[in-house]
Amino acid sequence: MDYHDQIRKYIVDNFLFGDAGKLTDSTSLLGAGIIDSTAILEIVQFIEKKFTINVNDDELLPENLDSVNSITAFITRKKTN
């Protein structure tokens, strides 16, 4: 399972209670009301632990954490640096 699949599964399981519904990989998680600011911190904890990366405060931005695609791209960048 790659980063994308693991992120999508985590979001569906923890915030959509198993119902992916209309979630696309580019859906704004904040804009669609799927997550709130507290949930962002939960996602950060998950990706730090699961992918052994450190997310800095200045990286807590929507462009890094607001969709399955943006989270996947962020993890990929972190893992290749």
| DSSP alpha helix (H) spans, 1-81 | 3-15, 37-51, 62-65, 68-80
Q: What is the pTM of this model?
A: 0.93
Tens digit of each residue's pLDDT (9 = 90 or more) over 55-69: 999 999 999 999 999
Q: Rounded mean pLDDT of 36-41?
A: 93
Residue-range domains of the chain with CATH:
3-17+30-80 (1.10.1200.10)
Quote the longest CA-to-CA distance of the chain.
34
